[in-house]
Amino acid sequence: MPESDDQALDGQYLEGIYQGDYGEKMPHDYGGYIGGHVKESLLLQLPYYHMNSTTKDGKQLELWFSSKNDGRKIFGVEMHETLRDKGDRSEAPSKAIDEAQAAFGKPDRVITSPDAPGQTILMFVDADLPKDRRDAIVAHLPNLDEMPKDDIGNFNSIDLRERARVLGPDFRGAIVTIYSFKDKVTGIDAELLDLPRARTVFNLEN
C-alpha cells in the first residue's frame, strides 16, 4: 500500500479513502462518505493485490493495486450500488447523470443503445492529463455505432484486456454506468481506471 507521497495516487494516501477525505474537493463527493461507513474489508493477494469492501448501506467497493515494483499504487477503484427495491432512494436517471457530471465534468462519450435498454455508459477522460495525451485517448473512445452490442450490454463485466480494447490502452479516467427501469435508477457502477498502471500487473497488449 502507498506509504509516502511519491507512491501515493495523485498525492492521496490509501488510508484517506477510509478516513473520508478522498474526493472532498469534488462538487459531488463520490468518495468522501466512505469514512466511518465501511462494514468489512478483505485484502486479497491472488491473482493480484486487490481489496474488496462492503459499506454499511450495502455498497461494494473494490481497489486494485499495481505491482510491487510500482509501489502497489491504485490503478482501479470501483463502486457498485444497487438501488432496486429501496423505495425513496431510487431516483431518475437524469439526476444520476447530473451527479456524475458534477463529479467528473462533461463526459467525453455517452453510450446508450436499444440493444441494452435502461443502460447509460458515461466515459470521462482525466481532465488533468496533458492535452495531447488526453486528445489521443478521447479519439480512441468508441462512438455508439462502433461499439458491438455485447460490449455495451456487458461493459461492466468484461475483463481488463477487453476494456483496453474498447477504451484504448492508455485510458485514464472514469466510467459511470447507470442502470434504470421505468425511469428509476436500479444500480450505479462508478469506476476510476488507469490502464497504463494496470499493465504493471496485467498483459493488456493486443
pTM of the model: 0.81
Mean pLDDT of the 17-33 span: 50
Phi (first) and psi of residue 62, to 5 degrees: -125, 140
pLDDT digits (tens, 9 = 90+) for 96-152: 999 999 889 999 999 987 777 888 999 999 998 999 999 999 999 988 777 777 778
CA 205 – CA 198 distance, rounded (Å): 11
Percent of the chain's residues with pLDDT above 90:
31
Question: What does the CA dihedral 110, 114, 116, 117 come to, rounded to 10 degrees?
Answer: 90
Mean pLDDT of the 57-81 span: 88
**What would the DSSP string read from start to end of 58-101?**
S-EEEEEE--TTTTS-EEEEEEEEE-TT-GGG---HHHHHHHHH
**Predicted pLDDT at 107:** 95
Question: What does the CA dihedral 40, 25, 192, 116 come to, rounded to 10 degrees?
Answer: 100
Burial class (CB in 10 A: 0-12, 13-18, 19+), 97: middle
Query: Residue 126 has which C-alpha cell?
Result: 482525466
pLDDT digits (tens, 9 = 90+) for 154-188: 887 888 888 898 899 999 999 999 998 888 899 99
Nearest CA to 76 out of 179, 206, 172 is that of 172
Neighbours of 155 (CB within 10 A): 21
Q: Let me know how long the chain is.
A: 206
Q: Which of 9-13, 19-23, 41-45 is predicted most confidently?
A: 41-45
Neighbours of 59 (CB within 10 A): 19
Query: Residue 163 has which C-alpha cell?
Result: 476494456
